[in-house]
Structure 1
Amino acid sequence: MTASFSITMGPGGKWSAYIGKGKSVTLTAAGDSANVSALLYHAAYPSERYNMPDSLKAQHTAFYTAGHVLMSDQGRVLASIIEDTAGWHDPLGGYTTRKGTDGKYGPTSYQQERNAWLRSGEENLTVELYRHNLTPRDLSAPVNFFSKVVCELDGTMRYVPQPTDGRSVTLRTEMDVLLVVSNTPHPLNPSAVYPRAAVEIRITDAAPMTEDDMCVNHCGENRRAFENTWNAYALMKGAN
């Protein structure tokens, strides 16, 4: 992929694709209460995937914004967050389930409502994983883009509404990745109304990295993860 590509996920929508190294992936919300649950895998070897505990521990954070990176369980950088107008993205809250969705918004089914039925994150992510020869065993903690969850000192997680209409976040792929996303509510969102915000995904070539790159220089742990990534790709390069 070298030209610009875009797709819009409606409420309850899902999408997945293999995306090459060095791409810019921008998610833009067209409404408030948006939430995109996202999983990332190494495209060639999906047993290597986004690791929430390592990413948070290495960067001394409980949320993501510009300057942070999404690390794999091999200590490499799958993607960096290079731009962000939302300001806070939740890595802790998980995804919605069928039981939770029915309990909060009322039972629905495809057989009765057809495409208007209310989907859950778990179902959407599972369907997209199957498209790439993965299974529910490959589900893990997602990044919930556009959602803000504050962790209190006693460990309580508190959902905090924040404006998302028109807000965007841009990832730069540092490896060839499989991106799996679901436009479904955050499980801690207390509203009894299923969110209706569409989210556009736009993919272009990323600008070349510079010496003062904020993601590389965010902390020493980030630089080491980038070095691990650069070394891995250097070993795979041919002579020409």
Structure 2
Amino acid sequence: MAQKIFSDVIPGASHWSLVVPAGHSLTFIDVNGGANVSLLFYNPVNPLERYNAPDTLKCQHTFKLTTGHCLYSDMGRIFCSVVADDTGWIDTVGGLANEQKVTQKWGQRDYQKDRNQWHQNGYDSMLVEVAKYGLGKRDLAANLNLFSKVQADGQGNLSFVEHHSKAGDQITLRFEIDTLVVLSTCPHPMNSAEEYPFNSIEMSLSKSAPVLADDACKTSRPENERGFENNHRYCSHA
């Protein structure tokens, strides 16, 4: 097992960011069950390159993400690969809740009066975090929601799956190029909990094992092999 470089617990209704170097992995652990981690990815050298959800899904012929899938930028490069996922389903379509939606569901609380028990929303928390890098509203793309599942029926109606993630479930992302990772632990916009869910996650950074020729993420689709080749050519000129 790879040795942790650092580990930290991020409370619910929080946001954070860090640049993860290529060859390192982030592991997320749902501490109590029912967590949600919204994620966006950017090239730290050129933030105009960012995670592209449509390309990620269509090139791997999938609606969900899980072990064996890769997460693409809008330049055809792979930010990271999903090398472990206890939940079997990472939401790609649910997006972020805004202030209006959170207030309608759980009532209004603000930081000035309620401190860490305020009702933060995913959209505003992401805006606060990307602003640290000179980014704004136009830079928020479609995001991932770890530990959450949104499924579609035969008519295309979407529904949120309750209790999808259990306490102790883990998801590990292996980063293939240097990546700015922006995250929020605010609740999923389709969460129907009666009370605002403050669900913490543990996040740890570790050194990744080398990517071998028969790596499951690399070989799961011909498109992924091309994505890794794009990474190789990009990194050889970096």
Normalized against structure 2, the TM-score is what? 0.95
Kindly report structure 1 stretches of 4+ aligned residues shifted beyond 4 Å: none
Match of 2:196 among 190, 194, 197: 194
Quote the Cα distance in structure 1 between the aligned partners of 2:139 and 2:122.
Answer: 14
The residue that corresponds to 1:124 in the other structure is 125
In 2, Cα distance between equivalents of 1:56 and 1:139: 18
Displacement of 1:13: 1.3
Q: Counterpart amino acid of 1:192?
A: E
How many residue pairs end up in the alignment? 235
After TM superposition, list the pairs within 5 Å mapping 1:131-210 onto structure 2: 131-161=132-162, 162-210=164-212
* Amino acid in the other structure paired with 2:90: H
Q: What is the match of residue 8 of structure 2? A: 7
For 1:146 and 1:3, locate their aligned partners in 2 and report how far apart those are by CA, in whole Å: 21
Asked if structure 2 preserves the Cα contact closer than 8 Å seen for 1:31 and 1:196, the reply is no
CA deviation vs aligned residue, 1:9-63 (integer Å, no higher than 9, x gap): 1011111011111111000010121100000011111100000000000011111
1:138 partner letter: D
* Structure 1 gap ranges (5+): none
Q: What is residue 230 of structure 1 aligned with on the other side?
A: 232
Q: 1:196, CA displacement in angstroms?
A: 2.6
Instruction: Report the Cα distance in structure 2 between the residues aligned to 1:86 and 1:3, rounded to whole angstroms.
Output: 22
- Deviations along 1:99-124, one digit per CA (max 9) or x if unpaired, are 11111011111222122101100111
Q: Which stretches in structure 2 are left out of the alignment for 5+ residues? A: none
Residue number in structure 2 paired with 1:103: 104
| CA distance in 2: counterparts of 1:66 and 1:163, whole angstroms | 15
- The residue aligned with 1:48 is 49
Equivalent pair of 2:4/2:204 in contact (CA under 8 Å): no
The AA in structure 2 aligned to 1:226 is F
The corresponding residue for 1:33 is 34
SS for the counterpart of 2:45 is coil
Contact 2:94 2:189 in 1 (8 A): yes
Q: Is the 8 A contact 1:78 1:173 kept in 2?
A: yes
Q: Secondary structure at the match of 1:40?
A: strand
TM-score, L = length of structure 1: 0.95
Contact 2:94 2:145 in 1 (8 A): yes
- State the SS of the aligned residue for 1:208: coil
Alignment partners' CA distance in 1, 2:187 and 2:146: 11
Contact 1:62–1:151 under 8 Å retained in 2: no
Matching residue of 2:90:
89
Counterpart in 2 of 1:18?
19
User: What's the CA shift for 1:223?
Assistant: 0.9
Deviations 1:152-191 (A, max 9, x none): 2322111112133100100011111100000011111122
1: CA distance between counterparts of 2:6 and 2:235? 25
What's the CA shift for 1:3?
6.4
Q: How many angstroms apart in 2 are the aligned matches of 1:154 and 1:112? A: 44
